[in-house]
Amino acid sequence: MYFWNQPLSPQEVHQNLSQDEYATYEDLVEQKRADWLAGRMAAKRVIGDEVYRRAGRIVSCCDVEIVSGQKERPTFRLLASSGTLIPEDYSLTLSHTGGQAVAALSLISDSGFVGIDIERERACSRDFSRDFLTEREFRSYIETERLSPLSLWCYKEAFLKAIGTGLRVHPRTIELTVSDEGELVRIEKDGLEVSFRAEKIAFPGVPFGAIVYLSIPLKSHNL
């Protein structure tokens, strides 16, 4: 997992992005650029770390290209040291908020598919909580004030990223059971239990976050 929270100068932006990435960056609206860039940098670093771990080679950020459509799982391409990692063997996930980002990489055969989400502190209305939580979740965690809605949102969004759908699946189709310590202990998708591993994460200025590993692809659960 790699957390990125440093702004880059225009020259550094140019140096760290591939040509295609730079073209994408230039096309972004101004208010999206810092988050997008932070996400790319975190992902490039986490992949660079894996190349070093596996092959002992150092790759610079501009030699790692993050590839993602708006609604697809992100993946990567190595523009140098290609062959040291096979992108199809890995699950890559990233999340950004307020110009900060985190990325995680999982070797699918070892740890399964991974999803991550981080959220900055913000006010959440009860309507928002009612909209994304099931009735039981709302009664158990929000009415009792046991958990912040943002903690629950992070678990749900991280899980949706791990299954590869993101918000193309309604968060209410997932039901979470969370311990008194705030640890996720059970996930049900459409009423069926899912095998997973999850952790709460937090970084300076980013108090809410979760990473979820799905040990078996969701279709193997017959969901």
Least Å from the CB of residue 167 to another protein = 6
Cα separation of 56 and 222, whole Å?
40
Asked whether position 32 contacts another protein by CB under 8 A, the answer is: yes
Q: Is the dihedral of CA 165, 166, 170, 173 positive or negative?
A: positive
The window from 8-16, 55-63, 99-107, 114-122 that contacts another protein (CB under 8 A) reads: 114-122
Cα separation of 62 and 65, whole Å?
7
Contact assessment for residue 11 and residue 209, using Cβ atoms and an 8 Å cutoff:
no
Residue 115: strand pairing partners? 212
Q: Return the number of the residue (65 or 157) whose C-beta is nearest another protein.
A: 157
Asked whether position 123 contacts another protein by CB under 8 A, the answer is: no
- The residue from 74, 169, 199, 207 that contacts another protein (CB under 8 A) is 169
Interface pattern 125-154 for another protein (x via CB under 8 A): --xx--xx--------------------x-
Asked whether position 157 contacts another protein by CB under 8 A, the answer is: yes
Q: Where do the H-state alpha helices sit in 56-208?
A: 108-111, 126-132, 135-137, 149-162
Q: Is the dihedral of CA 17, 19, 24, 28 positive or negative?
A: positive
Count of beta carbons in the 10 Å neighbourhood of residue 182: 15
The window from 52-60, 83-91, 164-172, 209-217 that contacts another protein (CB under 8 A) reads: 164-172
Asked whether position 170 contacts another protein by CB under 8 A, the answer is: yes
Count of beta carbons in the 10 Å neighbourhood of residue 160: 22
- The residue from 9, 11, 53, 70 that contacts another protein (CB under 8 A) is 70
- The residue from 171, 174, 210, 212 that contacts another protein (CB under 8 A) is 171
Asked whether position 167 contacts another protein by CB under 8 A, the answer is: yes
Cα separation of 115 and 193, whole Å?
18
Positions touching another protein (CB under 8 A) are 29, 31-32, 35, 70-71, 96-97, 117, 119, 122, 127-128, 131-132, 153, 157, 165-171
